[in-house]
Structure 1
Amino acid sequence: MPHLIKEWIKECENHHGHDLSILAPRYKHAVEIVLVDVVDKKLVRASSSWRFLTLSYVWGKAALEMTTTANRAARGQQGAFLKLNLPRLISDAMLLVSQLGERYLWVDCLCIEQDNLSQKLSQISQMDVIYSQSLLTLVALSSEDAGSCLPGVRPGTRSFFRAQEYSFDRDIYALYPRLLELSEATVYESRGWTFQQRLLSRRCLFLTECDMYYTCHSSLSRETGANSARGEENVFRDKFKNIFSQCSSCSMPDWPRTFSLYASETFALYASLVHEYSKRDLSDDTDVINAFSGISAVLGHILDSGSVSGLIECVLDNCLLWVPGDSKTHSRNLDFPSWSWAGW
């Protein structure tokens, strides 16, 4: 398993372009972050220019051993995490990073002091940089919470899947579940914070209970036969393409255009993302803007515009024309203005 992942990353680094600075100058620059050193089992002060992986997962109700202002110094000592009862999923992620020959991992509950409001807000405002500049995001797609395993990392953590067989012109083919089918019923795809984490990542490794998928802006590969996911390419483009690739298709730099046309295409992307995001659940309704802030930052920097209460200022007139997307009764979220979709 680690060997195949390393081959995917190597192929991507050598042959697929990922220069995000083309979209906005913001992505030329690194930000200060804290990383988990999986070798020395401690936290280290670092930069997003370092080579590191990120973890995207559902917190759930598992005990997370969060980093706070009180324990931050102790966690900077060598072997600090050996003394803790880390959630199984995070321990598995650290093991996988080590198996890949990498050293650093960014995990929100460990790398942000959870009781330090100023640091927390600063890191939330930089989510687009953190996830986009990481080497790879490990997506715990089938894991219901942090207490679950990361499938495939340790022996016995995968379910056996019997492929359906069908014949065509005397040849027999095996049908394996598609990534879309695997994702639809997961807790991961119902949560608010995970939405932008996946979209902001240049490369994602989706770990499921019966298979493993690798995606970047130009390819989709699966464990059950390298590069055997050709039949899923259209699904990948529609659902699993990262936001930077989607924005690139809006800009079309080889074709002159007016700002209004460019803005209208970017707004259409923004509207579709808000539509999908609004279907998701948050444990804390006050996070509705924070959990979308990375997406807003990307679109805002591309349009050279700020945002207010989740709406992009340069296309504010269009943003104000939102309507509820279903017939459900919408409760008022008093933390945000009524003219924003975030207020409902």
Structure 2
Amino acid sequence: MRRDIPIGLPILPERESPTQFALLRAWLRQCDKFHSCHKGQDASKIAMPTRVLYVGNPKDLDYASDFIRLVSVSEIAKQKYVALSHCWGDPSIEEKKVYCTTRDNIIQRSKGFSLSELPKTFQDAVKVTRELDISYLWIDSLCIIQDGDNGKDWELESGKMETVFSHAHCVIAATAAVNSKAGFLKRDVSTEYVYVQDASGKQFYISTDIDDFNNDVGNALLNKRAWVMQEGVLSRRTIHFSANQTYWECGEGIYCENLTRLRSPVTNRYFILDPNFPDRLIRSGMRRTLDCIAFLFQDYSMRTLTVPTDRYVAISGLVVRMEGALNCHSRYGIFQKYFHRNLLWQASNNKMKEIAYDYYVPSWSWMACSGGIQFMDITLGEVEWNDHLLFDEKCECDHAIIADLWTFQNCTTRLYETQCTVLDYSGVERGRMQYDVEGGQDLRKEQCVLVGRRSNRGIQEFYILIVKSTGVDGEYRRIGVGSIQSDYVVKQRIDIRLV
């Protein structure tokens, strides 16, 4: 990223002092006043979460610093609110009962409860919200019922993450906190700086506090969590409280606590900074859009989840936003507009494992397995996509693809773990395959589905999904992906269902 010096923002001489929050308020005012991407957010158009925490206003006569209340948005007019992005850590069942909202304590919490009951990270979030002169705060474990209703409220509210984070006035990222109990405002670093003013009155600050956004934020534990992916992309602006510095991130770039400013070149990072994501991306054209979708899904797939079955839902808000922008629907992370290209994913680390969902996630979706993915390296424009491969629009389910079935001929494989080389009977390489998980790998029992084809020096190469029968006539499941020369496959059957 490129650095420059922003003008007109206050210096931060002390840690965790009112000056720190003065700096944040100055950033917020500058965003609202000068940045076109943030101007004029109409409070009447804010789609608020179902519940928020009322943290009070220190200027009110009846203000009590240790008092907060859980309120339903149906009780209040639409207001600005802040959302917290944080690491849960690994709380015990007893700890969850103490601070999480449950069916048993939600009525009491709607009457008010003590801030001191909550973990330090939540207390710090309340403090920041108050200092920003905002009265409402959203925290997942407090604003969504976590126990006592068979998961019904969580199932409903988890589908609303797109609006929760995109409509928040800003997001507080507790980057320095490894769990809910750690807190993020207190830091064990000290900064030295020199203030200089030249004869013309121009001011300079020289600080020992060197910014390192990629390390302080990008490599922090918080940004290894899968849930945080969509929280960061969908938010209009984010305050990152890292262990070393506070960073302000918005569509104009990244402001650092030492008053430097980081500007992103036109890369995937630039598009993700868009406060109205993915407006910038869609205007950039198909090639950049495809690259950025691949970047997002690959990054997301490598992040951690406490509950593996959250792989589908933890990015659902971001997928919904992309659907609207692309003007197409998607199924399990496969966008109809880029249907064929999105199907050609493969394991990036050979450590994929099927996820045991309690509902059906199709084998052709990368969401069916845990582990990192990458998309096959294909140059756009060189491939002719197969028109006979498409979503099944006639059935009531949403997990079937209609395809023609091909079978392998005159070839064998040389296997190493989940990767293999396709050889003809004289031992010449004719293709390569990669299986999604270990097991199987027997071309006598496997077939394939044609995704696309290209010509390379007069030889036609097929991009394929490797499939295997489910035991139901005409029904197959994906077990891998690859490429093979056209002479070594032959069409066997039409209109099978890939599930």
TM-score range, shorter chain: 0.7 to 0.9
- Out of 265, 273, 286, the residue aligned to residue 242 of structure 1 is 273
Q: 1:61 to 1:173 in 2, by over 3 A?
A: closer
Q: CA deviation at 1:97?
A: 1.0
Give the superposition deviation at 1:219.
2.9
1:194-236 alpha-carbon deviations (Å, 9 max, x no partner): 11111111010000122111011113212223xx12xx32379
Q: 1:73–1:280: structure 2 CA closer, same or farther, 3 Å change rule?
A: same
User: In the aligned structure 2, how far is the partner of 1:243 from the partner of 1:316?
Assistant: 25
Contact kept? 1:220, 1:236, Cα under 8 Å: no
Distance 1:132 1:251, change over 3 A: same
**Which of 158, 181, 189 is matched with 2:215 structurally?**
181
Equivalent residue, structure 2, for 1:273: 296
Distance (whole Å) between structure 1 residues aligned to residue 267 and residue 69 of structure 2: 38
Q: Which residue of 1 aligns with 2:128?
A: 96
Which residue identity lines up with residue 102 of structure 1 in the other structure? Answer: I
Alpha-carbon distance in 2 for matches of 1:269, 1:248? 13
State the shift of 1:13 in Å: 0.7
Counterparts in 2 of 1:149 and 1:283: CA distance versus 1, 3 Å: same
Q: CA offset at residue 185 of structure 1?
A: 3.6
Higher RCO (C-alpha 8 Å, min separation 6): 1
Per-residue CA distance 1:126-166 (angstroms, 9 max, x = gap): 21111011111000112101111122xxxxx11225689xx
Q: Secondary structure at the match of 1:41?
A: strand
Aligned to 2:351: 329
What are the residue-to-residue correspondences of 1:124-135 with 2, within 5 Å? 124-135=158-169
183-192 vs 131-140, greater mean Cα deviation = 183-192
Instruction: State the distance in 2 between where 1:32 and 1:133 align.
Output: 9
Match of 1:7 in 2: 26
Match of 1:340 among 330, 347, 365: 365
RMSD of aligned residue pairs (Cα, Å): 2.9
Structure 1: distance between partners of 2:159 and 2:152: 11
More strand, by proportion: 2
Once the two structures are superposed, residues 168-208 of structure 1 have per-residue CA deviations (whole angstroms, 9 ceiling, x without a partner) of xxxx8856031112134421121111111111110100001
Percent of aligned pairs sharing the same letter: 23
Match of 1:53 in 2: 82
The separation in 2 between residues aligned to 1:173 and 1:286, in whole angstroms, is 46
In structure 2, what is the Cα distance between the partners aligned to 1:173 and 1:138? 25
Worse overlay, 1-10 or 315-324: 315-324
Paired amino acid for 2:122: I
Aligned-partner residue type, residue 347 of structure 2: P
Describe the shift of the 1:182–1:304 C-alpha distance in structure 2 as closer, same or farther (beyond 3 A): same
| 2:289 partner SS | helix
Match of 1:30 in 2: 47
Query: 1:72 aligned to 106, 115, 122, which one?
Result: 106
- Say whether 1:251 aligns with 2:282: yes
When the two structures are aligned, how many residues end up with a matched partner? 313
| Counterpart amino acid of residue 367 in structure 2 | A
Cα offset for 1:296? 0.4
Aligned to 1:195: 229
Contact 1:34–1:46 (Cα < 8 Å) also in 2: yes
Change (3 A) 1:118 1:41: same
Does the C-alpha gap of structure 1 residues 187 and 195 become closer, same or farther in structure 2, counting only changes over 3 Å? Answer: same
Over 3 Å counting, the alpha-carbon distance change for 1:272 and 1:163 in structure 2 is farther
Match of 1:282 in 2: 305
Q: In structure 1, how many angstroms separate the alpha carbons of the residues matched to 2:275 and 2:26?
A: 23
Q: 1:119 aligns with which of 148, 153, 165?
A: 153
Question: Aligned letter for 2:146?
Answer: Q
Task: Supply the distance in 1 between the matched residues of 2:217 and 2:325 (Cα, whole angstroms).
Answer: 30
Amino acid aligned to 2:68: K
TM-score of the superposition, structure 2-length normalised?
0.58
CA 1:6/1:114 → structure 2, altered by over 3 Å: closer, same or farther? Answer: same
Q: Does 1:233 align with 2:263?
A: yes
State TM-score, norm by structure 1. Answer: 0.82
**1:110 counterpart letter in structure 2:** L
**CA separation of 1:303 and 1:90: change in aligned 2, threshold 3 A:** same
Cα distance between partner residues in 2 of 1:334 and 1:312: 23
Query: Residue 264 of structure 2 aligns to a residue in which SS?
Result: helix
Higher normalized helix content (fraction of residues):
1
- Report the alpha carbon displacement of residue 99 of structure 1 after superposing the two structures with TM: 1.9
Aligned residue type for 2:69: K
Q: Structure 2, unaligned stretches of length 5 or more?
A: 1-19, 40-44, 57-66, 194-205, 370-499
When Rg is computed on C-alpha atoms for both structures, the one with the higher figure is 2
Q: CA deviation at 1:268?
A: 2.7
Return the alpha-carbon distance in structure 2 between the equivalents of residues 217 and 325 of structure 1: 31
Distance 2:38 2:27 in 1: 18
Kept after mapping to 1: 8 A contact 2:268/2:295? no
Could you list the structure 1 runs, at least 4 aligned residues long, displaced by more than 6 angstroms after superposition.
none
Structure 2 CA distance for aligned equivalents of residues 121 and 305 of structure 1: 24
Residue 117 of structure 2 corresponds to which residue in structure 1?
A: 85
Task: Please state whether the residue corresponding to 2:106 is helix, strand or coil.
Answer: coil
1:158 aligns with 2:191: no
1:312 corresponds to which of 332, 335, 338: 335
